[in-house]
């Protein structure tokens, strides 16, 4: 019997590319729209490969797998997959780390510039009949700002590259980044406390792990300038959302731009959606038509690569 590939869930218009690439190798492709781990157990038990987007790929589900070789995420962050459980069973956990880096870095810079020029404030004021710049006072010159990047992987590297032309000073906190590489991008490596204290714009770019969950919380907001703004296009759980809301309400910080939330889809009554000093978007920083087609193609190619007996191109758990 041919090998079986299960797609647990997806939000794309179709999976024609996956069917074409995986089917061409003679592998069976089964697709569902199931998020719950318990409901997935009977359909995934005999899978050789699992493709997932938002489903809960729990330890219970992983332990039930009979001969699965790989679990791959439609995306970068694998926080919905129990990586430790997969590692114990010798199952590759893979992702596609480069499909949307241009889009996310663009989104980050766009949010930063919109906050720097107070565009949402200006737009709202003008609609209410306020002609002039009074609603934005005081406004600082962007090129005199300091931008702090928390994390220095592919996306923040592109953010640094794209910001270079604006003349801002860039600080980077990433204990895993090569300091020489950081300096090659015109940035200065610093500790987190220094970055928080010096930066006018603080942009978060770390994966959500046990170590990074809630790493920006009440204590960190107290270290920031009252004029600072925070941008998060990484994962909602990296920033303690309640502490962020409180910092914004009390004026501890000046503003925020968020594309990700602790609970997704975000609820309509989330305070971040109703604050004048916040830009909020629906976890779409990654999106472009090119990004979608690239992601779907690369996922299918990685599945075929591994089921053909090769080592994965992008594996996060097994060497």
Distances (CA, A) of 2 to 30, 48, 133, 292, 307: 12, 10, 66, 28, 11
Instruction: Respond yes or no: is residue 13 known to be catalytic.
Output: no
* Lateral strand order in the sheet of 4-7: 28-31, 4-7, 49-52, 70-73, 92-94
Q: Which one is catalytic: 154, 283, 297, 301?
A: 283
Contact 149, 171 (CB under 8 A): yes
Which DSSP string do the residues of the chain spell out, in sequence order? ---EEEE----SS--HHHHHHHHTTT-EEEE-----HHHHHHHHTT-SEEEESSS-B-HHHHHH-SS--EEEESSS--TTB-HHHHHHTT-EEE--TTTTHHHHHHHHHHHHHHHHTTHHHHHHHHHTT--SSGGG-S---GGG-EEEEE--SHHHHHHHHHHGGGT-EEEEE-TTS-HHHHHHTTEEE--HHHHHHH-SEEEE-----TTTTT-BSHHHHHHS-TT-EEEE-S-GGGB-HHHHHHHHHTTSSSEEEES--SSSSPPTT-GGGG-TTEEE--S-TT--HHHHHHHHHHHHHHHHHHHTTPPPSSBSS--
Q: Which one is catalytic: 235, 240, 262, 302?
A: 235
Residue 71, beta-bridge partner list: 50, 93
Those residues whose C-beta lies under 8 Å from the C-beta of residue 168, and which sit 6 or more positions away, are 142, 143, 144, 145, 146, 147, 201
Q: Which one is catalytic: 183, 184, 264, 274?
A: 264
Instruction: Respond yes or no: is residue 264 known to be catalytic.
Output: yes
Instruction: Respond yes or no: is residue 274 known to be catalytic.
Output: no
Active site residues: 235, 264, 283
């Amino acid at each position: 019997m041919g090998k079986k590939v299960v797609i647990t869930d997806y939000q794309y218009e179709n999976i024609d590319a996956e069917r074409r690439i995986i089917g061409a190798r003679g592998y069976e492709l089964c697709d569902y729209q199931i998020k719950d781990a318990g409901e997935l157990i009977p359909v995934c038990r005999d899978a050789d490969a699992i493709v997932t987007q938002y489903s809960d790929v729990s330890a219970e589900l992983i332990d039930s797998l009979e001969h699965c070789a790989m679990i791959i995420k439609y995306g970068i962050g694998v926080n919905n997959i129990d990586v430790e459980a997969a590692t114990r069973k010798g199952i590759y956990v893979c992702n596609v780390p480069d499909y949307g880096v241009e889009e996310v870095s663009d989104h980050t810079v766009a949010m930063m510039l919109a906050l720097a020029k107070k565009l949402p404030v200006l737009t709202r004021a003008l609609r209410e009949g306020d002609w002039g710049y009074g609603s934005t006072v005081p406004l600082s010159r962007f090129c005199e700002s300091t931008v702090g990047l928390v994390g220095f992987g592919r996306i923040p590297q592109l953010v640094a590259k794209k910001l270079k032309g604006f003349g801002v000073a860039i600080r980077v906190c990433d204990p895993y980044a090569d300091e020489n590489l950081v300096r090659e991008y015109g940035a200065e490596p610093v500790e987190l406390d220094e970055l928080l204290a010096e930066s006018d714009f603080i942009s978060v770019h770390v994966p959500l792990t046990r170590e990074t969950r809630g790493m920006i919380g009440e204590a960190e907001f107290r270290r920031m300038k009252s004029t600072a703004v925070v941008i998060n296009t990484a994962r909602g759980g990296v920033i303690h959302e309640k502490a962020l809301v409180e910092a914004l309400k009390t004026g501890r910080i000046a503003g925020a731009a968020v594309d990700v939330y602790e609970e997704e889809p975000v609820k309509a009554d989330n305070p971040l959606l109703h604050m004048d000093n916040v830009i909020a978007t629906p976890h779409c920083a990654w999106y472009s038509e090119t990004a979608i087609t690239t992601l779907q193609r690369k996922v299918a190619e990685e599945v075929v690569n591994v089921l053909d007996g090769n080592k994965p191109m992008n594996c996060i758990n097994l060497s």
